[in-house]
């Protein structure tokens, strides 16, 4: 027992006995100053001093300590017992000589769950690869209401092309009648859960102010057409594949 709990216990027991400090120190053969310092928690007394105090107060300190130790042992034993029961249950579960069908049903549940997870992961991975394979090629914007000309140049004489490879993409705007390239940018991309995200690595300041450095689109590919709907912006466009 350590301070300050020790001092509080001495004070509690002394008052319960109806003893004053003077009466207690007289019976214990210690000074009143020592008792005061013990009760206030200022010092931890020697073993023989506390033993003398507890004997006068009829409190068996050692039995109390043993009780606490026994309680700890009881808790540990209870935990070990539970672990043993779990171990026996697992061993018995794999003993198919008894209650075979019931145990097979229980054992089949985690196997089925693992299979479902593996199938789902495999399906999603195949879907991602399928979309990426469909993306590779050259595409041209084909919906007039979303042409870049309306957004940037106020000119209808604009054609936008996107070239997508396995890991990168490049977008270029042409003015066919004038036979010039107006602007272009390129970067990397990812496809996850039906969302196509572009990470633009290089572009002109004019494009950066309009499109930023990253754009995400919900993507749907039907035959030679790619429908994209902006997640973080209103860049909804329809593209037609013109070359693989």
Render pLDDT for 1-53 as a digit per residue (tens, 0 to 9).
556 788 888 999 989 989 999 999 998 888 999 999 888 888 888 888 888 89
User: Tokens at residue 31, please?
Assistant: 């000074």
Cα–Cα dist 194/128, whole Å: 8
Is the pTM higher than 0.75? The answer reads no
Cα–Cα dist 142/224, whole Å: 12
CATH topology agreement for domains 5-59 and 136-243: no
pLDDT of 58 > 60? The answer is yes
Cα–Cα dist 46/153, whole Å: 93
Domain ranges of the chain: 5-59, 94-135, 136-243
Of the pLDDT bands very low, low, confident and very high (cuts 50, 70, 90), residue 76 is confident
User: Given this model, what pLDDT does residue 149 score?
Assistant: 44
Helix (H, G, I), strand (E, B) or coil at 94: coil
Number of neighbours of residue 198 by Cβ within 10 angstroms: 23
Of the pLDDT bands very low, low, confident and very high (cuts 50, 70, 90), residue 97 is low
Cα–Cα dist 120/103, whole Å: 27
Calculate what percentage of the chain has a pLDDT beyond 70: 78
Q: What is the tens place of the pLDDT at every residue in 173-199?
A: 888 788 888 788 889 999 888 888 889
User: Given this model, what pLDDT does residue 126 score?
Assistant: 79
User: Given this model, what pLDDT does residue 214 score?
Assistant: 81
CATH class of 136-243: mainly beta
Cα–Cα dist 214/211, whole Å: 7
Give the mean model confidence (pLDDT) for residues 152-169.
Answer: 78
CATH topology of domain 5-59: 434 Repressor (Amino-terminal Domain) (1.10.260)
User: Tokens at residue 100, please?
Assistant: 């075979």
For residues 162 and 211, which has the higher predicted lDDT (pLDDT)?
162
Residue partners of 90: CB distance under 8 A and separation at least 6: none
């Amino acid at each position: 027992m350590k301070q300050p709990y020790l001092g509080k216990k001495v004070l509690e027991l002394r008052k319960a006995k109806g003893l004053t400090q003077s009466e207690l120190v007289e019976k214990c053969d210690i000074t009143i100053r020592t008792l005061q310092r013990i009760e206030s928690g200022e010092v931890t007394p020697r073993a023989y001093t506390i033993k003398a105090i507890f004997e006068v107060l009829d409190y068996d300190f050692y039995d109390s300590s043993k009780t606490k130790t026994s309680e700890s042992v009881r808790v540990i034993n209870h935990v070990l017992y539970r672990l043993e029961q779990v171990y026996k249950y697992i061993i018995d579960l794999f003993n198919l000589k008894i209650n075979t069908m019931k145990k097979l049903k229980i054992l089949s549940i985690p196997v089925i769950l693992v299979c479902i997870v593996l199938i789902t992961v495999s399906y999603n991975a195949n879907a991602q690869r399928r979309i990426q394979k469909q993306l590779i090629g050259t595409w041209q914007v084909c919906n007039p209401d979303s042409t870049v000309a309306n957004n940037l140049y106020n000119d209808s004489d604009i054609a936008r092309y996107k070239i997508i490879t396995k890991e990168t993409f490049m977008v270029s705007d042409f003015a066919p009648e004038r036979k010039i390239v107006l602007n272009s940018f390129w970067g990397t991309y990812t496809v996850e859960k039906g969302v196509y995200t572009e990470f633009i690595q290089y572009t002109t300041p004019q494009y950066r102010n309009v499109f930023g450095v990253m754009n995400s689109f919900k993507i749907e590919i039907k035959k030679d057409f790619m429908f994209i709907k902006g997640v973080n912006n209103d860049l909804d466009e329809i593209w037609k594949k013109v070359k693989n």
